[in-house]
Amino acid sequence: GAVVSQHPSWVICKSGTSVKIECRSLDFQATTMFWYRQFPKQSLMLMATSNEGSKATYEQGVEKDKFLINHASLTLSTLTVTSAHPEDSSFYICSTPGLVIYEQFFGPGTRLTVL
């Protein structure tokens, strides 16, 4: 399957700061990438779909001004958590479409802790 990387793998920041998470597709070009979030003891939830060269589409209840997504190239999408607060502490994971219908390749995830 495709190789998807994320950076950083974990980050701790102070409340009010912004954090950028990178998602890279290492071995193929991805016009679409997906961003998920997982709170403790809950399931992965789709936050937004990142589209290369155009605006991201956000799921209901996700603030687009707080979670800025940029998909500037076919191999890189970034998620910026702006003015992070402790309630934003979560596991953020990205994915790309797979080779068969509905399949997705996931990155290893980024653990964000906001103090």
Partner 1 sequence: DQQVKQNSPSLSVQEGRISILNCDYTNSMFDYFLWYKKYPAEGPTFLISISSIKDKNEDGRFTVFLNKSAKHLSLHIVPSQPGDSAVYFCAAVGDQTGANNLFFGTGTRLTVIP
Q: Which residues bind partner 1 (CB under 8 A)?
A: 1, 4, 6, 9, 32, 34, 41-46, 49, 59, 93, 95, 97-98, 100-109
113 CA to centre of own chain: 15
> Closer to partner 1 at the Cβ: 19 or 107?
107
Bridge partners of 95, per DSSP, are 34, 106
Bridge partners of 104, per DSSP, are 97
Helix (H) or strand (E) holding 74, with range, is none
Residue holding tokens 């790309």? 96
> Closer to partner 1 at the Cβ: 32 or 80?
32
> Closer to partner 1 at the Cβ: 4 or 84?
4
Minimum CB–partner distance for residue 16 and partner 1 (Å): 29
